Structure formats: structure tokens, C-alpha cells
Amino acid sequence: MTSAELNKEFEDAVERINAHTEPFPADFLLRLYAYYKKATNDYGRPSSRKPIINAFKTNALFQVQDISPDEAKREYISLVNKYFLYRK
């Protein structure tokens, strides 16, 4: 897959998530958050008003610190595809 194809597929996956109106499981959201931040090279600190949420987000970011942005995009796409394939 070329870089342009990967970027397009990633953008499509992000759109699917943003268009979805039902709530997602918290663990799924944390993984999406971490992969998205890594994929977009957004290294800003979590900005929730609740410290516990920031702690969970920070932990999720630590778990993906050793993968490349392209790998994060692939993982994000895979998570989205699996979610919509297997959801009830």
C-alpha cells in the first residue's frame, strides 16, 4: 500500500468513527486515541478536565510510543474495521 493509499484509508476510518453516533467502549476509545495521536504526530498533552482521564490517555500513549506513525495508521484502520465488522 502506498503512503497516499494509507493516508486515504486512515482518513476514511477517522470519518467512520466521527460519523458514528452510538457510544464506543472506553477501552476501544483509548486505543483509537493513542493510535490517532501517534499517526498524526500530535504529541500534545491530554487535556481532559478530569485527572483520571488524562492518566488513562497518557498510559495509552505510552503503550504506542515505539511504533511508527504509519504503523499507528494501520492499527487504527484495523481497529475500526474490526469494530464495525463484529459489533452487534
Quote the pLDDT of residue 40. Answer: 95
Residue 23 has pLDDT above 80, yes or no: yes
**Amino acid sitting at position 74:** R
CATH class of 3-86: mainly alpha
Which residues neighbour 26 within 8 Å (Cβ) at sequence distance 6 or greater? none
Quote the pLDDT of residue 32. Answer: 96
Quote the pLDDT of residue 43. Answer: 75
pLDDT tens sequence across 27-81: 999 999 999 999 999 877 777 788 888 899 889 999 999 999 999 999 999 999 9
Band (pLDDT 50/70/90 cuts) for residue 88 is low
65: Cα separation from own chain's centroid: 13
